[in-house]
Amino acid sequence: MRAAILYGPEDLRVEEVPEPDGEVVVEVQAATTCGTDVKMWRHGHPVLPPYPCSFGHETAGVRTDDGARVLVSDSVACGRCEPCLAGRPQICRDPAWVLGGFGERIAAPAAALHLIPDDLPFAAAAMAEPLAAAIHAIARGGAAEDVGVLGGGPMGLMLASLLLAQGRSVTVADRNPERRDQAAEIGARPCERLERHALVFEAVGRPDTWRQAVASALPGAVVVLVGGCPGGTEVSLPTRPVHYDELELRGSFHHSRDEVDEALAALASGAVPWELLRGETISLEQLPAALATASGGPARKWVVDPRRR
Ligand SMILES: [Zn+2]
Ligand SMILES: [Zn+2]
Protein backbone atom coordinates (compact mmCIF):
# COMPACT_ATOMS: atom_id res chain seq x y z
CA MET A 1 0.00 0.00 0.00
CA ARG A 2 1.05 3.66 -0.32
CA ALA A 3 1.89 5.84 2.67
CA ALA A 4 3.65 9.12 3.51
CA ILE A 5 6.83 8.26 5.40
CA LEU A 6 9.00 10.74 7.30
CA TYR A 7 12.73 10.15 6.85
CA GLY A 8 13.88 13.25 8.74
CA PRO A 9 13.06 16.94 9.06
CA GLU A 10 11.19 18.06 5.93
CA ASP A 11 12.02 14.76 4.26
CA LEU A 12 8.69 13.15 3.43
CA ARG A 13 8.44 10.42 0.82
CA VAL A 14 5.37 8.70 -0.53
CA GLU A 15 6.25 5.04 -0.86
CA GLU A 16 4.97 1.52 -1.22
CA VAL A 17 5.13 0.01 2.28
CA PRO A 18 4.12 -3.37 3.73
CA GLU A 19 0.48 -3.77 4.79
CA PRO A 20 -0.01 -2.68 8.43
CA ASP A 21 -0.47 -5.40 10.99
CA GLY A 22 -2.57 -4.99 14.12
CA GLU A 23 -5.76 -5.92 15.93
CA VAL A 24 -7.94 -4.04 13.43
CA VAL A 25 -7.06 -2.61 10.01
CA VAL A 26 -8.90 0.49 8.82
CA GLU A 27 -9.11 1.68 5.20
CA VAL A 28 -8.43 5.43 5.51
CA GLN A 29 -11.04 7.67 3.88
CA ALA A 30 -9.95 11.02 5.37
CA ALA A 31 -7.03 12.14 7.51
CA THR A 32 -6.99 15.81 8.47
CA THR A 33 -3.79 17.81 8.94
CA CYS A 34 -3.03 19.83 12.04
CA GLY A 35 -0.33 21.95 13.66
CA THR A 36 1.18 18.86 15.25
CA ASP A 37 1.72 17.38 11.77
CA VAL A 38 3.55 20.56 10.79
CA LYS A 39 5.82 20.16 13.83
CA MET A 40 6.35 16.46 13.07
CA TRP A 41 7.26 17.18 9.46
CA ARG A 42 9.49 20.18 10.23
CA HIS A 43 11.44 19.02 13.29
CA GLY A 44 10.17 15.64 14.49
CA HIS A 45 8.12 15.19 17.64
CA PRO A 46 8.49 13.33 20.97
CA VAL A 47 5.64 10.90 20.19
CA LEU A 48 7.09 9.84 16.82
CA PRO A 49 8.98 6.54 16.68
CA PRO A 50 12.52 6.64 15.19
CA TYR A 51 12.81 7.53 11.47
CA PRO A 52 11.67 6.33 9.01
CA CYS A 53 8.13 6.47 10.40
CA SER A 54 4.56 7.06 9.36
CA PHE A 55 2.39 9.84 10.79
CA GLY A 56 -1.09 11.36 10.58
CA HIS A 57 -3.21 11.20 13.74
CA GLU A 58 -6.68 12.53 12.78
CA THR A 59 -7.96 9.54 10.89
CA ALA A 60 -11.36 8.28 9.81
CA GLY A 61 -12.13 5.25 7.70
CA VAL A 62 -13.77 1.87 7.33
CA ARG A 63 -12.84 -1.30 9.22
CA THR A 64 -11.70 -3.97 6.79
CA ASP A 65 -13.25 -6.75 8.93
CA ASP A 66 -16.84 -5.59 9.48
CA GLY A 67 -17.16 -2.46 7.34
CA ALA A 68 -17.97 -0.16 10.29
CA ARG A 69 -17.23 3.56 9.87
CA VAL A 70 -14.74 4.50 12.57
CA LEU A 71 -12.60 7.30 13.88
CA VAL A 72 -9.14 6.00 14.78
CA SER A 73 -8.13 7.83 17.95
CA ASP A 74 -4.45 8.68 18.09
CA SER A 75 -3.78 7.03 21.43
CA VAL A 76 -4.93 4.51 23.98
CA ALA A 77 -4.19 5.29 27.63
CA CYS A 78 -2.56 2.46 29.61
CA GLY A 79 -5.24 2.35 32.32
CA ARG A 80 -2.67 1.37 34.96
CA CYS A 81 -0.47 4.41 35.70
CA GLU A 82 -1.18 6.91 38.47
CA PRO A 83 -2.86 9.56 36.28
CA CYS A 84 -5.00 6.86 34.61
CA LEU A 85 -6.04 5.46 38.00
CA ALA A 86 -6.79 9.02 39.16
CA GLY A 87 -9.17 9.52 36.22
CA ARG A 88 -6.80 11.62 34.12
CA PRO A 89 -6.01 9.47 31.07
CA GLN A 90 -5.07 12.63 29.12
CA ILE A 91 -1.73 12.63 30.95
CA CYS A 92 -1.21 8.85 30.91
CA ARG A 93 2.47 8.00 31.50
CA ASP A 94 2.49 5.18 28.98
CA PRO A 95 -0.04 5.71 26.18
CA ALA A 96 0.08 3.60 23.02
CA TRP A 97 0.22 6.12 20.14
CA VAL A 98 -1.62 5.20 16.96
CA LEU A 99 -0.11 7.08 14.04
CA GLY A 100 -0.23 6.46 10.30
CA GLY A 101 -3.38 8.16 9.02
CA PHE A 102 -1.41 9.43 6.02
CA GLY A 103 -1.48 6.00 4.39
CA GLU A 104 -4.01 3.86 2.57
CA ARG A 105 -4.56 1.65 5.61
CA ILE A 106 -3.78 1.94 9.31
CA ALA A 107 -3.63 -0.73 12.00
CA ALA A 108 -5.06 0.06 15.41
CA PRO A 109 -6.02 -1.60 18.66
CA ALA A 110 -9.82 -1.97 18.91
CA ALA A 111 -9.66 0.30 21.99
CA ALA A 112 -8.64 3.21 19.74
CA LEU A 113 -11.75 3.00 17.57
CA HIS A 114 -14.95 5.07 17.86
CA LEU A 115 -18.06 4.54 15.76
CA ILE A 116 -18.84 7.55 13.58
CA PRO A 117 -22.43 8.85 13.83
CA ASP A 118 -24.40 7.89 10.71
CA ASP A 119 -24.64 11.14 8.78
CA LEU A 120 -21.27 12.57 9.73
CA PRO A 121 -18.81 12.68 6.80
CA PHE A 122 -15.36 11.12 7.27
CA ALA A 123 -13.57 14.49 6.99
CA ALA A 124 -15.67 15.90 9.84
CA ALA A 125 -15.22 12.77 11.95
CA ALA A 126 -11.43 13.05 11.64
CA MET A 127 -11.66 16.49 13.25
CA ALA A 128 -13.10 14.88 16.39
CA GLU A 129 -9.52 14.27 17.53
CA PRO A 130 -8.53 17.95 17.92
CA LEU A 131 -12.09 18.85 18.93
CA ALA A 132 -11.83 16.39 21.84
CA ALA A 133 -8.72 18.29 22.99
CA ALA A 134 -10.76 21.52 22.84
CA ILE A 135 -13.52 19.88 24.91
CA HIS A 136 -10.92 18.85 27.47
CA ALA A 137 -9.41 22.36 27.56
CA ILE A 138 -12.84 23.86 28.25
CA ALA A 139 -13.37 21.39 31.09
CA ARG A 140 -10.01 22.54 32.51
CA GLY A 141 -11.11 26.20 32.28
CA GLY A 142 -14.30 26.37 34.33
CA ALA A 143 -17.53 28.25 33.80
CA ALA A 144 -16.61 31.95 33.41
CA GLU A 145 -18.96 33.75 31.05
CA ASP A 146 -16.44 36.23 29.61
CA VAL A 147 -13.81 34.36 27.61
CA GLY A 148 -10.80 35.44 25.56
CA VAL A 149 -9.19 33.06 23.08
CA LEU A 150 -5.68 33.87 21.94
CA GLY A 151 -5.17 32.44 18.45
CA GLY A 152 -7.69 32.05 15.62
CA GLY A 153 -6.24 28.86 14.15
CA PRO A 154 -8.25 25.63 14.00
CA MET A 155 -7.88 25.01 17.74
CA GLY A 156 -8.82 28.59 18.70
CA LEU A 157 -11.88 28.49 16.46
CA MET A 158 -12.93 25.07 17.77
CA LEU A 159 -12.65 26.38 21.34
CA ALA A 160 -14.63 29.49 20.38
CA SER A 161 -17.43 27.54 18.71
CA LEU A 162 -17.85 25.16 21.67
CA LEU A 163 -17.87 28.10 24.12
CA LEU A 164 -20.38 30.01 21.99
CA ALA A 165 -22.61 26.91 21.85
CA GLN A 166 -22.61 27.06 25.67
CA GLY A 167 -23.89 30.63 25.50
CA ARG A 168 -20.68 32.31 26.62
CA SER A 169 -19.33 35.60 25.34
CA VAL A 170 -16.17 34.92 23.33
CA THR A 171 -13.46 37.22 21.95
CA VAL A 172 -10.87 35.75 19.58
CA ALA A 173 -7.56 37.54 19.01
CA ASP A 174 -5.43 36.95 15.94
CA ARG A 175 -3.14 39.15 13.88
CA ASN A 176 -4.34 37.48 10.69
CA PRO A 177 -7.40 39.28 9.24
CA GLU A 178 -8.69 36.14 7.48
CA ARG A 179 -8.79 34.30 10.80
CA ARG A 180 -10.54 37.27 12.44
CA ASP A 181 -13.17 37.06 9.69
CA GLN A 182 -13.65 33.36 10.43
CA ALA A 183 -14.04 34.16 14.15
CA ALA A 184 -16.71 36.74 13.33
CA GLU A 185 -18.44 34.23 11.05
CA ILE A 186 -18.96 31.79 13.93
CA GLY A 187 -20.27 34.57 16.19
CA ALA A 188 -17.19 35.47 18.25
CA ARG A 189 -15.92 39.02 18.67
CA PRO A 190 -12.71 39.31 16.64
CA CYS A 191 -9.80 41.55 17.67
CA GLU A 192 -6.08 41.93 17.09
CA ARG A 193 -5.16 41.94 20.77
CA LEU A 194 -7.14 40.72 23.76
CA GLU A 195 -8.24 43.08 26.48
CA ARG A 196 -8.64 41.34 29.84
CA HIS A 197 -10.94 38.40 30.45
CA ALA A 198 -12.10 36.17 33.30
CA LEU A 199 -11.06 33.08 31.39
CA VAL A 200 -8.30 33.02 28.77
CA PHE A 201 -7.31 30.19 26.43
CA GLU A 202 -3.90 30.28 24.78
CA ALA A 203 -4.19 28.36 21.49
CA VAL A 204 -0.99 29.29 19.66
CA GLY A 205 1.91 27.63 21.48
CA ARG A 206 4.64 30.28 21.55
CA PRO A 207 6.39 31.84 24.55
CA ASP A 208 5.22 35.36 23.64
CA THR A 209 1.59 34.26 23.39
CA TRP A 210 1.83 32.39 26.72
CA ARG A 211 2.96 35.71 28.21
CA GLN A 212 0.17 37.57 26.40
CA ALA A 213 -2.37 35.11 27.79
CA VAL A 214 -1.24 35.95 31.32
CA ALA A 215 -1.30 39.67 30.50
CA SER A 216 -4.90 39.27 29.25
CA ALA A 217 -6.20 37.80 32.50
CA LEU A 218 -8.44 39.74 34.90
CA PRO A 219 -7.70 39.41 38.63
CA GLY A 220 -8.69 35.92 39.76
CA ALA A 221 -8.84 34.64 36.18
CA VAL A 222 -8.07 31.17 34.91
CA VAL A 223 -5.56 30.89 32.05
CA VAL A 224 -5.63 27.62 30.14
CA LEU A 225 -2.49 26.90 28.15
CA VAL A 226 -3.59 24.74 25.23
CA GLY A 227 -0.83 25.45 22.70
CA GLY A 228 2.34 23.40 23.20
CA CYS A 229 5.58 25.37 22.78
CA PRO A 230 8.58 23.78 21.01
CA GLY A 231 10.42 21.22 23.16
CA GLY A 232 12.84 22.66 25.70
CA THR A 233 11.22 26.12 25.61
CA GLU A 234 11.17 28.17 28.79
CA VAL A 235 8.78 31.06 29.36
CA SER A 236 9.30 33.93 31.78
CA LEU A 237 6.14 35.35 33.32
CA PRO A 238 5.54 38.44 35.46
CA THR A 239 5.17 37.19 39.03
CA ARG A 240 3.07 40.16 40.16
CA PRO A 241 -0.30 39.29 38.54
CA VAL A 242 0.18 35.57 39.09
CA HIS A 243 0.66 36.20 42.82
CA TYR A 244 -1.31 39.34 43.68
CA ASP A 245 -4.17 38.65 41.26
CA GLU A 246 -4.28 34.95 42.13
CA LEU A 247 -4.19 33.87 38.51
CA GLU A 248 -4.64 30.18 37.92
CA LEU A 249 -2.44 28.86 35.12
CA ARG A 250 -3.58 25.45 33.96
CA GLY A 251 -2.00 23.27 31.31
CA SER A 252 -4.29 21.35 29.02
CA PHE A 253 -3.19 18.37 26.99
CA HIS A 254 -4.92 15.83 24.82
CA HIS A 255 -8.22 14.13 25.64
CA SER A 256 -9.89 11.04 27.06
CA ARG A 257 -11.85 8.37 25.22
CA ASP A 258 -15.11 9.90 26.50
CA GLU A 259 -14.08 13.34 25.25
CA VAL A 260 -13.55 11.89 21.75
CA ASP A 261 -17.11 10.49 21.81
CA GLU A 262 -18.38 13.87 23.02
CA ALA A 263 -16.56 15.51 20.11
CA LEU A 264 -18.18 13.15 17.58
CA ALA A 265 -21.59 13.91 19.09
CA ALA A 266 -20.90 17.68 18.97
CA LEU A 267 -19.94 17.43 15.30
CA ALA A 268 -23.04 15.36 14.49
CA SER A 269 -25.29 17.85 16.30
CA GLY A 270 -24.04 20.72 14.15
CA ALA A 271 -22.70 22.65 17.17
CA VAL A 272 -19.29 22.95 15.52
CA PRO A 273 -19.05 24.57 12.08
CA TRP A 274 -16.44 22.10 10.81
CA GLU A 275 -17.00 23.08 7.16
CA LEU A 276 -15.44 26.45 7.97
CA LEU A 277 -12.18 24.66 8.79
CA ARG A 278 -12.27 22.20 5.95
CA GLY A 279 -9.44 22.81 3.50
CA GLU A 280 -9.04 21.19 0.11
CA THR A 281 -8.95 17.43 -0.25
CA ILE A 282 -5.41 16.48 -1.24
CA SER A 283 -3.30 13.45 -2.13
CA LEU A 284 -0.37 12.11 -0.10
CA GLU A 285 2.00 13.74 -2.62
CA GLN A 286 0.49 17.17 -1.90
CA LEU A 287 1.12 16.91 1.86
CA PRO A 288 4.50 18.71 2.09
CA ALA A 289 3.22 21.72 0.16
CA ALA A 290 0.09 21.86 2.34
CA LEU A 291 2.06 21.59 5.60
CA ALA A 292 4.46 24.30 4.45
CA THR A 293 1.64 26.84 4.12
CA ALA A 294 -0.36 25.78 7.20
CA SER A 295 0.55 28.74 9.40
CA GLY A 296 -0.54 31.47 6.96
CA GLY A 297 -3.93 32.33 5.51
CA PRO A 298 -7.26 31.30 6.97
CA ALA A 299 -7.51 28.58 9.61
CA ARG A 300 -8.00 25.33 7.75
CA LYS A 301 -7.34 21.65 7.90
CA TRP A 302 -6.50 19.84 4.70
CA VAL A 303 -8.25 16.55 4.16
CA VAL A 304 -5.82 13.92 2.94
CA ASP A 305 -7.44 11.18 0.89
CA PRO A 306 -4.68 8.56 0.52
CA ARG A 307 -6.52 6.83 -2.36
CA ARG A 308 -6.21 9.97 -4.44
CA ARG A 309 -3.39 10.10 -7.01
ZN1 LIG B 1 -4.02 17.04 15.61
ZN1 LIG C 1 -1.85 5.46 31.95
> Which among 140, 178, 126, 139 has a CA at the least distance from the CA of 157?
178
CA of 32 to the centre of ligand 1 (A): 8
- Give the number of the ligand closest to the Cα of residue 132: 1
CA of 274 to the centre of ligand 1 (A): 14
pLDDT of residue 231: 82
CA distances, 228 to each of 54, 99, 155, 213, 254 (Å): 22, 19, 12, 13, 11
CA distances, 307 to each of 29, 31, 80, 116, 139 (Å): 8, 11, 38, 20, 37
Other beta carbons within 10 angstroms of residue 94's beta carbon come to: 11
Please give the DSSP secondary-structure letter assigned to residue 7.
E
pLDDT digits (tens, 9 = 90+) for 35-88: 999 999 998 998 899 999 999 999 999 999 999 999 999 999 999 999 999 999
CA of 35 to the centre of ligand 1 (A): 6
- Specify whether the CB–CB gap between 78 and 49 falls below 8 A: no
CA of 279 to the centre of ligand 1 (A): 14
pLDDT digits (tens, 9 = 90+) for 268-292: 999 999 999 999 999 999 999 999 9
> Which among 304, 259, 255 has a CA at the least distance from the CA of 284?
304
- Give the number of the ligand closest to the Cα of residue 95: 2
CA of 240 to the centre of ligand 2 (A): 36
Torsion of CA 64, 287, 73, 23, to 10 degrees: 40
Residues β-bridged to residue 5: 13, 54
CA distance linking residue 16 with residue 14, whole number of Å: 7
- Give the number of the ligand closest to the Cα of residue 155: 1
CA of 175 to the centre of ligand 1 (A): 22
pLDDT of residue 230: 85
- Give the number of the ligand closest to the Cα of residue 92: 2
pLDDT of residue 208: 97
CA of 107 to the centre of ligand 2 (A): 21
SS3 of 76-116: ECCCCCHHHHCCCHHHCCCCEECCCCCECEEEECHHHEEEC
Q: From first to last of the 309 residues of the chain, give the pLDDT tens digit.
A: 999 999 999 999 999 999 999 999 999 999 999 999 999 999 899 889 999 999 999 999 999 999 999 999 999 999 999 999 999 999 999 999 999 999 999 999 999 999 999 999 999 999 999 999 999 999 999 999 999 999 999 999 999 999 999 999 999 999 999 999 999 999 999 999 999 999 999 999 999 999 999 999 999 999 999 999 988 899 999 999 999 999 999 999 999 999 999 999 999 999 999 999 999 999 999 999 999 988 789 999 999 999 998
CA of 271 to the centre of ligand 1 (A): 20
Beta-carbon neighbours within 5 Å of ion ligand 1: 34, 36, 130
- Give the number of the ligand closest to the Cα of residue 80: 2
